[in-house]
Structure 1
């Protein structure tokens, strides 16, 4: 850990004292490859107004209703060239894991037509594929964190034009040892019937299918608080799971300084000795750039530009609604005894999040979110469904280059 901190300190110092603080720091041209250095540092604070569950209890708790933590410390080297080759080597010094680490070859020099080998985000989920430093809210939607397949080792092919794209991949484990496992495949297609400056209408479909790690699956979610140690909805261990398949549908509309987007996921676990388990969820969000900026769009994902006025920065206001349903079963009443669970009752959760973001100049962002949770889950001790409705205040300070 000491080495990780020294590496991070040196990297931040290099970025701060570079001749000009842009989105990346140019290093050199070596072997025909233009090498740049990027980084992202995020520090979070969560304040919990608990209801029933202690959201920051357990072994990781600090005895208070608040948590403060360095969330990410990402260091990334990128190269362009020689020729049509691009490469990236990313590492998160906080989580001690590799990020995007891959080679990409642009077929015919076309950035929309490529082959990719290594570790990369799999072709599913609009929110997961969007840049982490420009998340609309501090925590990604609960359904995104639960269902989206993120970085895995594999190979991908992609093709498209300005208003459509198709990507297919085959993948295995995560590059860092002891993290996600399970070989599988995925595909995503997008179509933007409207794609002009500041006006975008986007639709997408995705599908992933993969082996369950050690034939076990557990579907659960935090209440949109990354520092929470407890989950309010939880399927429990589904020990006889063979494969998991998830279908995703997405839509986004940008008009000037307004952006609305939503995603729906339906996931099925194929089991050996039990009925298949199905769960689903969705989110809908809206974001307003108060200072008038709009978004870019490329490769089926939006991009956030710099403030029009760097001195005063770019202000955003947003609201999001999340819904998850991990119930796939029912209660069978037994005369004179406790109800018997037939299937899986993992619970339901609805979450409202309101937030504000401030991007200052080209390297700094501050975010503030307020999260309101309404959850319900079956309790064997209570012999019925129990509500747990906490509220959470979240803050983030971010530096990137």
Structure 2
């Protein structure tokens, strides 16, 4: 990592009143509203993990799982954001986008950002209930893409639609025509109150495969990859990592449920995937789901809902939260004469304790029991137990 960047990160802990001075307003004209607001921020996550009963040799240890530096700019109805990650000694592009706020309840975004597919798929990693998203969210969700998104909402209804390029658009490193995707999302909350929420939603996507160079006839080859980690950031080898070739197009659907009453929440999603492939190749089907629930033990006593993105807000400081999750991911489809379309199966039961010290610092402790079925990337059908901890700093 660049020494200047490291010194900048460390300085956040020692410079007096930095938190209160990270937003700068620059007046650009005589009008009171004619000013640019620039905000600097970021986050750091320190992780540790221990693995038990594993046939595969897994590496206990510690890591800095996430380092972010973020710059935001606001000018009248325009917002811009640049966000880079520095985990694993690599510079990773996160969010780079421009937003035009049509009014208080609608906006248009252009740039590199997460598709609005599902809920957990685009939850901030800083305040997720568990160390990582559920395996099903990782495998069947969608990452950041370059594209255009429109969003509109009111107290009960949230709708969005977007058009995106494929995974190679940012680097533009492969030959052939870029693929594209169309994504839409709808959710409805008949209760619409802070103390009681009932969020019912559905998301859908049509996607051509991601380009993978040219074939012998100079036509674009298309693939899709589905992968998920061992719900940990310390062990890097992924138990699920499956690539489908000869892709024609893909359909993906997600149904969502989020319900709260006072200090209790319930969240679940079901994923369904269908891939059409070229002539003479079998289509591919896969799916998964997770369900999680939690309670605020002391401190904050009410889960609140952010209408602008339809996600739970982070609890207040000095709050202890307990959550449990069951997750199941199935990438096994079928065995055919020409190929085996089986990418592995994984399920886990996880328990989390989260303590929110204040709006900048939090502690996480997770226990997970993971069951790996046949065809996983480790090569063994096995059961793994792991204990993890995290210190998260958001500034």
1:39 to 42, 57, 80: 42
Which residue is equivalent to 1:113? 106
1:289 to 290, 293, 296: 296
2:159 to 155, 166, 170: 166
Task: Give the C-alpha shift of residue 101 in structure 1.
Answer: 1.3
Where 1:216 maps in the other structure, the secondary structure is: strand
Question: Residue 233 of structure 1 contacts residue 377 of structure 1 at CA under 8 Å; is this kept in 2?
Answer: no
- In structure 1, distance between residues paired with 2:281 and 2:64: 41
- In structure 2, distance between residues paired with 1:207 and 1:191: 15
Matched, 1:217 2:224: yes
Task: Give the C-alpha shift of residue 289 in structure 1.
Answer: 1.2
Give 5+ residue unaligned stretches, structure 2: 29-34, 213-221
2:328 to 323, 332, 335: 323
Which residue is equivalent to 1:98? 93
Which residue is equivalent to 1:261? 267
Which residue is equivalent to 2:219? none
Where 1:219 maps in the other structure, the secondary structure is: strand
In the superposition, relative to structure 1, how do residues 391 and 10 fare at CA in structure 2: closer, same or farther (>3 Å)?
same
Further displaced range: 346-355 or 317-326: 346-355
- In structure 1, distance between residues paired with 2:14 and 2:265: 32
Which residue is equivalent to 2:139? 146
- In structure 2, distance between residues paired with 1:378 and 1:76: 40
In the superposition, relative to structure 1, how do residues 210 and 103 fare at CA in structure 2: closer, same or farther (>3 Å)?
same
- In structure 2, distance between residues paired with 1:207 and 1:29: 41
Task: Give the C-alpha shift of residue 342 in structure 1.
Answer: 6.5
- In structure 2, distance between residues paired with 1:326 and 1:179: 28
- In structure 2, distance between residues paired with 1:10 and 1:220: 34
Matched, 1:53 2:56: yes
Question: Residue 232 of structure 1 contacts residue 388 of structure 1 at CA under 8 Å; is this kept in 2?
Answer: no
CA RMSD, aligned part only? 2.5
- In structure 2, distance between residues paired with 1:350 and 1:364: 30
Which residue is equivalent to 1:348? 345
Show CA shifts across 1:340-375 (max 9, x none). 796422232220001101111221111010110122
In the superposition, relative to structure 1, how do residues 219 and 131 fare at CA in structure 2: closer, same or farther (>3 Å)?
closer
Which residue is equivalent to 1:75? 69
Where 1:139 maps in the other structure, the secondary structure is: coil
In the superposition, relative to structure 1, how do residues 35 and 267 fare at CA in structure 2: closer, same or farther (>3 Å)?
same
Where 2:130 maps in the other structure, the secondary structure is: coil
Give 5+ residue unaligned stretches, structure 1: 57-64, 332-339
Which residue is equivalent to 1:17? 15
TM alignment of 1:162-311, pairs within 5 A: 162-173=155-166, 176-177=170-171, 182-213=179-210, 214=212, 215-235=222-242, 237-272=243-278, 273-291=280-298, 292-305=301-314, 307=316, 310=317
- In structure 2, distance between residues paired with 1:341 and 1:231: 26
Structure 2 length as normaliser, TM-score? 0.86
- In structure 2, distance between residues paired with 1:162 and 1:254: 16
Which residue is equivalent to 1:367? 364
Task: Give the C-alpha shift of residue 261 in structure 1.
Answer: 0.2
In the superposition, relative to structure 1, how do residues 179 and 36 fare at CA in structure 2: closer, same or farther (>3 Å)?
farther
In the superposition, relative to structure 1, how do residues 258 and 9 fare at CA in structure 2: closer, same or farther (>3 Å)?
farther
Question: Residue 345 of structure 2 contacts residue 375 of structure 2 at CA under 8 Å; is this kept in 1?
Answer: no
- In structure 1, distance between residues paired with 2:293 and 2:383: 23
Question: Residue 184 of structure 1 contacts residue 209 of structure 1 at CA under 8 Å; is this kept in 2?
Answer: yes
Task: Give the C-alpha shift of residue 278 in structure 1.
Answer: 0.6
Show CA shifts across 1:56-95 (max 9, x none). 3xxxxxxxx30321111111111222x2111111111224
Which residue is equivalent to 2:218? none
- In structure 2, distance between residues paired with 1:75 and 1:68: 21
Where 2:55 maps in the other structure, the secondary structure is: coil
Where 1:193 maps in the other structure, the secondary structure is: coil
- In structure 2, distance between residues paired with 1:349 and 1:326: 9
Question: Residue 261 of structure 2 contacts residue 302 of structure 2 at CA under 8 Å; is this kept in 1?
Answer: no
